[in-house]
């Protein structure tokens, strides 16, 4: 039996830059492996650690299209959707869809991190 999910790893062109984005967004700290510059992790926030690995020729996913599918996305619980959106955008995220403004009853918005990975801020 598997004990726990160790990390969620995302491919990207610049692991350090993307790890720094998520540290600013979530808190925690960057954990770099001095023997492997192509793998960087973020630890110390509530939840499963995130890892970032360099992928040569990385191409960002296209959302919502499937020419370059997202394959996964991250959902984050927030108490203040407007405030956290402003913070995420200031850190380098971009808005993909303000779902809560398009669909009655929706409580989330979709963004892309600086490497193009979709993630959602979900009001709870």
pLDDT tens per residue across span 29-50 = 999 989 899 999 999 999 999 9
pLDDT for res 3: 78
What letters, b where the CB count within 10 A reaches 16 and e where it falls short, cover 47-63?
eebbbbbbeeeeebbeb
Q: Is 91 strand, coil or helix?
A: helix
- CA–CA distances in Å: residue 79 to residues 1, 53, 107: 35, 30, 11
* pTM, entire model: 0.87
pLDDT for res 2: 66
Residues 6+ apart with CB under 8 A from 5: 48
């Amino acid at each position: 039996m598997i004990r726990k999910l160790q990390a969620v790893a995302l491919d990207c062109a610049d692991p350090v830059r993307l790890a720094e984005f998520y540290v600013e967004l979530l808190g925690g700290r960057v954990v770099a492996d001095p023997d492997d510059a192509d793998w960087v992790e973020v630890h110390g926030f509530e939840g499963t650690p995130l890892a970032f690995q360099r992928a040569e020729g990385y191409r960002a996913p296209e959302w919502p299209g499937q020419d370059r599918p997202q394959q996964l996305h991250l959902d984050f619980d927030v108490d203040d959707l407007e405030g956290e959106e402003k913070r995420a955008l200031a850190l380098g995220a971009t808005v993909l869809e303000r779902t809560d403004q398009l669909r009655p009853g929706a409580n989330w918005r979709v963004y892309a991190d600086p490497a193009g990975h979709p993630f959602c801020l979900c009001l709870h």
